[in-house]
Amino acid sequence: MMDNNDDLKALWGAGIAAPAPDITALLTRATTVKRKALNKMIWGNLLLVLTSIFIAWVWIHYQPQMLTTKIGIVLCILAMLLYIVASTSMLQFLFRTEPDMDTASYLAQMLRLRQRQEYLQKTIMTAYYILLSAGMALYMIEYATMLGRRYGLIAYLVTFGWIGLAWFYIRPRTARKQLAPINDVIKQLEQVQQQLKD
């Protein structure tokens, strides 16, 4: 039987203690975490630089004649850049939290950030597919004309068959997989926020 406030407090303080870990180890860990975040950032940027070099190389090496080809290349590269930006930690600055707010504000902040993430992920995914499809369609015009009507048509059919599969099958599946955990978190955060209002 437990009905005394002091008993609860005594129990609370009595049994639980963990030796404080060595302070140097703790701070080493802090620096490691920071360095890892920085490395991730550098790698993300490196990919961007490499992609830019790739744009220049394709342009110089193949010397496309038609404007549509050039626009197509730019769109495809944009799609890739968008993908890299979204999939590396480069969007992290949008999701940086202030860890020393009061709980109610912190919950509201976490919820806002997750909702923004959900929105961004949906938007970026759609933009990625639209840019890539439009880019490829434009890019292929120059070469499809060279192939002649029949082979040109086949080339387009194959390409857009693949894009269609990606849009109608792969995209919704990926979206579900990526959005499900975010939605779960949002739902749970809303529940926790409600607890404070009850």
Point out which span in 8-16, 48-56, 59-67, 147-155 binds other proteins (CB under 8 A): 8-16
Torsion of CA 170, 173, 179, 180, to 10 degrees: -160
Nearest to 183 by CA among 175, 193, 171: 175
Of 1, 49, 56, 146, the one binding other proteins (CB under 8 A) is: 1
Q: In the stretch 113-152, what mask flags binding to other proteins with x, by CB under 8 A?
A: -x--------------------------------------
In this complex, which beta carbon is closest to other proteins, that of residue 95 or of residue 151? Answer: 95
Subset of residues 81 to 120 that bind other proteins, contact rule: CB under 8 A: 97, 99-107, 110, 114
Q: How far apart are CA 44 and CA 109, in angstroms?
A: 26
Q: How far apart are CA 191 and CA 4, in angstroms?
A: 31
Point out which span in 44-52, 53-61, 130-138, 180-188 binds other proteins (CB under 8 A): 180-188
Residue with tokens 């390409």: 159
C-beta separation of 136 from 159 below 8 A: yes
Q: How far apart are CA 66 and CA 49, in angstroms?
A: 26
* 21 lines the binding site for other proteins (CB under 8 A): yes
Of 77, 125, 140, 189, the one binding other proteins (CB under 8 A) is: 189
In this complex, which beta carbon is closest to other proteins, that of residue 110 or of residue 140? Answer: 110
What minimum distance in Å lies between the beta carbon of 116 and other proteins? 14
DSSP state of 19: P
In this complex, which beta carbon is closest to other proteins, that of residue 158 or of residue 176? Answer: 176
Residues in contact with 84: Cβ distance below 8 Å, sequence separation at least 6, in sequence order = 44, 47, 48, 51, 90
Segment (H or E) for 146: helix 103-147
Residues in contact with other proteins by the rule CB under 8 A: 1-3, 5, 8-9, 11-21, 23, 26-27, 29-30, 33, 97, 99-107, 110, 114, 181, 184-185, 188-189, 192, 195-196
